[in-house]
Structure 1
């Protein structure tokens, strides 16, 4: 009997109220085939439905080298050949990368080693990002004849500014953690091997705060970025009033 393949995605709870998603395919530097994307999408759905207040995503020695180009196209073709709707296939891929998906809780990325392609797109969907000193980042899609359509074309110019984003998107070059920190893509740079530890520290700090306030901040910021500054102020006021109302009710109970 052939043993079952090891899961490419592991979901654990290393600290109270903290969920950890670990990409676990080290032999391929955490490159994900279609099954891996679907496992990751399922893990995010489980996190969203659970009781965690914050999530951490990591990959061990390497965050992720992106989609597994050796098999991904064939995987998608096979799924379509089995009669699966294309929309359902791509919905799983996009959900895995948190494209058009806003989790109610914050996500912290712990980035070691390489963070390429879909791996960088996933990192770009997180809220707090810790990178090891030797971590490397790249969106090499243009070198292979396609574009970074997991959210980066739309999101990256808003995160790090137009010139920096276009340098990343159009050259396909690799950039170090220090440069990505300078551009604002990474929040902290730490010694190699310590990104996960620092990410868990941040996650614990966030989890210790009021969960209603934390969720309110994430929702207000996310909604506000999609509109004008005036609209963002209105959202901030509305969400603030909602959180205060919850706090008052809790104090009376």
Structure 2
């Protein structure tokens, strides 16, 4: 199975498991990854997802160009409507634990996550300009929003790689950790997130993404106000306030 999944409490771990091919994405992996994201989105008992790559050489080196060059049916990039590569539209928090190379479609996957933790040996690059194609999967749009515009253009137009330290300096990743610690750190972050109210997290994520990427400020403020009112009517909101008054840890249930 090129994609493995595991449940750790309320955390869903997705592992790209083709280390012999640098965890590059062939059609089978593409379809299984989409199914994993669907499973995560549909299960109310899962509150956070962590995606990573097997081994320490690569998080994901992108589309499997060797397979797609030999067989056009392996070029899944032409059939993105069949399923999802990334967690786009999922309002639950997602974390990318990046070990080794994070390139092309792998970079698209990491960029679509809310938080990115990189091992010291991680590298990042779009690579598209060197392959005669366009950086897809949201790379052009997210890079231009997540890092200084000039750095985004460097990454897109030169198609060269940057290391973990540079990725952290420009804000592409949230943290850099020693090699082998990306996944443990991501799991620790996920556990911290599961202590917070899940409905509040989803509402804030939605308000931030839609407000930053799709809406004028005034409309974004209206969306925030509507989501605030909705969450204030939940059991979790009442529990959070009671726990504060009673000086204890809240027990959130996602209701």
Tell whether the structures are fold-level matches, with TM greater than 0.5. yes
Runs of 4+ in 1 over 3 A off after TM superposition: 73-80, 247-253
Instruction: Quote how far apart the aligned CAs of 1:35 are.
Output: 1.5
**Aligned to 2:110, which of 100, 108, 123?**
123
Please list, as runs of the form range in 1=range in 2, the aligned pairs for 1:73-88 lying within 5 A after superposition. Answer: 75-77=71-73
| Contact 1:34/1:76 (<8 A) preserved | no
Equivalent residues, number: 237
> Partners of 1:23 and 1:91 in 2: how far apart?
20
Secondary structure in structure 1 of the residue aligned to 2:154 = helix
Conserved 8 A contact 1:58-1:110? yes
**Secondary structure in 1 aligned to 2:66?**
coil
Q: Which position in structure 1 is the counterpart of 2:6?
A: 12
**In the alignment, does 2:62 pair up with 1:66?**
yes
Distance 2:13 2:25 in 1: 18
- Alpha carbons 1:37, 1:92 under 8 Å: kept: no
Instruction: Give 5+ residue unaligned stretches, structure 2.
Output: 243-254
Per the TM alignment, residue 47 of structure 1 is displaced from its structure 2 partner at its CA by 1.0
1:223-243 per-residue CA deviation (whole Å, 9 max, x = no partner) reads 112222222222211111111
Matched ranges for 1:26-175 at <5 A? 26-50=19-43, 51-60=45-54, 61=56, 62-72=58-68, 75-77=71-73, 89-92=79-82, 95-98=84-87, 101-175=88-162
Contact 2:62/2:107, CA 8 A, preserved across alignment: yes
Residue 192 of structure 2 corresponds to: 205
- In the aligned structure 1, how far is the partner of 2:12 from the partner of 2:64? 25
CA distance in 2, matches of 1:36, 1:171: 28
Which 5+ residue runs of structure 1 have no aligned equivalent?
A: 1-6, 81-85
Which whole-Å CA distance do the structure 2 matches of 1:126 and 1:249 have between them? Answer: 26
Contact 1:34 1:72 in 2 (8 A): no
Q: 2 CA distance for matches of 1:182 and 1:249?
A: 36
* Residue in structure 2 matched with residue 192 of structure 1 by the alignment: 179
| TM-score w.r.t. length of structure 2 | 0.87
What RMSD over aligned residues (CA atoms) do the two structures have, in Å? 2.2
Query: Within the alignment, does 1:234 sit opposite 2:222 as a pair?
Result: yes
* SS of equivalent residue, structure 1 residue 224: helix
Question: Distance between the aligned counterparts of 1:79 and 1:165, measured in 2?
Answer: 26
Q: Is the 8 A contact 2:27 2:75 kept in 1?
A: no
Looking at structure 2, the residues matched to 75 and 220 of structure 1 have their Cα atoms a distance apart, in angstroms, of 42
Match of 2:234 in 1: 246
Cα displacement string for residues 167-190 of structure 1 (whole angstroms, at most 9, x for unaligned residues): 000001110111111111100011
